[in-house]
Amino acid sequence: MAIAPHIRARVAELRTSLDQHNYNYYVLDQPVISDAEYDRLFRELQQLEQEHPQLISPESPTQRVGAAPLTDFAQVRHRTPMLSLANAFENDEVVAFDRRVREALDTAAVEYAAEPKFDGLAVSLTYEKGLLTTGATRGDGSTGEDVTANLRTVRAIPLRLRAEPPDLLEVRGEVLMLKSEFRQLNANQREQGGKEFVNPRNAAAGALRQLDPRITATRRLTFFAYGTGVPFAGVRKQSQLLDRLARFGFAVTAERKVVQGVDGLLDYYRAIGARREKLPFDIDGVVYKVNDLSGQNTLGFVSRAPRFAVAHKFAAEEATTQVEGIDVQVGRTGALTPVARLKPVFVGGVTVVNATLHNEDEVRRKDIRVGDTVVVRRAGDVIPEVVRMVAEKRPPHTQRFVLPQRCPVCGSEVRRAEDEAIARCSAGLFCPAQRKQALLHFASRRAMDIDGLGEKLVEQLVDSQIVRTPADLYGLGSAHLAQLERMAEKSAANLIAAIEKSKHTTLARFIYALGIRNVGESTAQDLARYFGGIDRLAAADAVVLQQVPDVGPVVAQSIAGFFAEPHNRDVVRQLLAAGVKFTETASRQLDTASPIFGKTFVLTGALTHLTRDEAQQKIRDQGGKVSSSVSKKTDYVIAGADPGSKFERARELGVALLDEAGLLKLLRSKEK
């Protein structure tokens, strides 16, 4: 049956009106109608959509109540990585940050965009032609979880953008819970006899990861935008970007400010710190970003953080408690770490029962003993630490802590190198503690990514001596897993499937998964690009290893020492024999005769035949390195259409300039 025009018109009118009222309430914080009047309009729209279901659309305000429960979250690959920020805790670190920025931009003073650092969860929202299509968590920075259904319930997130947005817009920001909503949530929990939440961040995190979006809808989350993942034309400054996002209908913090130089940064930090308790949301510091977007582009990134921004954290929260014991934990690399067992104390938003004492020298320097009253510090997600002991409260007859000479787990000899503060168990993978940590690292998401292999399961596998090395994982079968507690048939099947899936990986992930001391993800990628195969890497001595970009003597010695151990080489051989294979790109041997090999490239401007990612990958495949900023060490700057300041910087420094055709010619000269 055809729908009468006046019905269609009324539905459109109600949607427009409700969207405006949502915007007034959740973004502007300026409601113009009562809750009762809003509810009346909402129910009228619901009734009309129920009577005419063909009129229901995803962007309707009625669709914010939550869809059917999910079975799990799909994975979303971010178009550009969602990087974390470097931290500054002292004013001197902010001064140093400003100095580095000024030197890199070759200017006397820099304009910054400053804003509060929300204590929430970072998410990415993708809009196509103005409509919300995907919402994802930050995840590991490269890949997040698809929580679109849950984010649709957050009324501060527009389902349809206002004004005239670009065809594709990826907005990044923070999902959080206001302090008032948190207090009300816990009041409701108390009334219902439920468990109260520790802090607004935990409550928001739990709400966002509910498999049933209807539960998320009851938690009254909010959202603040602070940037974009895909740049768009017409915006030259970070402050203008936030203004543009506000016009699109997003909430952006009113506490943002443009400041000049390091004095402006520190003044802003003090001003926000003084208002911290009165703000409607939790913050754990402030964020400084170079305001000029071309300056951000020039500064680029280092490892997993941008050079153009820093998070200036507030002073850590501290509390006083008593040391009830000092245990010694053995880590993945055999490091022995003294850990204080504390009388439970609430600090930094959580109840703390353990705090690190770092190493034997630190215990002696601070003179921490069992029975001492101590000050404990926790800032954000940082592991709690013992700051100092309170001398006037020390009980009589306490004894100094002495690090054991034998590993507390396996009894092997403990050794400490002359130039190191850390003492280590000498047993390697033969020590169960190291074995457990090594297996957890091997299976972690950024390594071999074996879903389902958690701490409790690893403990059982090691304690029952079913698994001694990572290679043993690939021999696991249903019969082995059936011996373990709480291992149902389906869970066993899922784990075996995840282990099988992990056999197809990249060389960089494999190198990182081996847990070589001092080798993180970035170094693992450099090693994979340089050597192209695990055999070539294993055969390299410390001298050859130092030819790899950013690998110095300490890292080189760690790698060479790892492969010098016969049992480590045996594990690698067993893993390969079990069927672990690398992708073609990762395992291809690099041609050192290539004109690309060992050269550093910077890309600027739009390319015609290659995407930026494709060009970077092709350069890396031939042993080149891609940098985000131009320096005297740059070999080539590849300039596409409308090149930015990097082009001018290259001309100033006399760096070789090539267009896209020149790059393709270099690549083709040695491509197989």
Residues with catalytic roles: 117
Write phi, then psi, for 264 (nearest 5 degrees).
-65, -40
The strand pairing partners of 309, in sequence order, are 289
> 132 near 152, Cβ under 8 Å?
yes
Please report the DSSP string for 218-236 in residue order: TT--EEEEEEESS--TT--
> 308 near 143, Cβ under 8 Å?
no
User: 426-460: buried (b, 16+ CB within 10 Å) or exposed (e) per residue?
Assistant: ebbbebbbbbbbbbbbbbbebbbbbeebeeebbeb
User: How far is the first Cα of the chain from the last one, in angstroms, to the nearest whole number?
Assistant: 63
What residues contact residue 301 under an 8 Å CB cut-off, 6+ apart? 83, 307, 628
The C-alpha atoms of residue 551 and residue 30 are separated, in whole angstroms, by 56
The C-alpha atoms of residue 622 and residue 625 are separated, in whole angstroms, by 9
The runs of H, that is alpha helices, within 116-260 are 148-151, 179-191, 200-208, 213-217, 238-248
Q: Could you tell me the CA-to-CA distances from 565 to 465, 537, 572 in Å, in that order?
A: 22, 14, 11
Nearest to 135 by CA among 196, 209, 61, 197: 209
Write phi, then psi, for 482 (nearest 5 degrees).
-65, -20
> 584 near 621, Cβ under 8 Å?
no
Stated as kind and residue range, the H or E segment containing 388 is: strand 385-389
Q: How crowded is the C-beta side of 50, counted as CA atoms within 13 Å? A: 7
Rounded to 5 degrees, what angle do the CA atoms 93, 98, 103 make?
125
The C-alpha atoms of residue 14 and residue 46 are separated, in whole angstroms, by 10
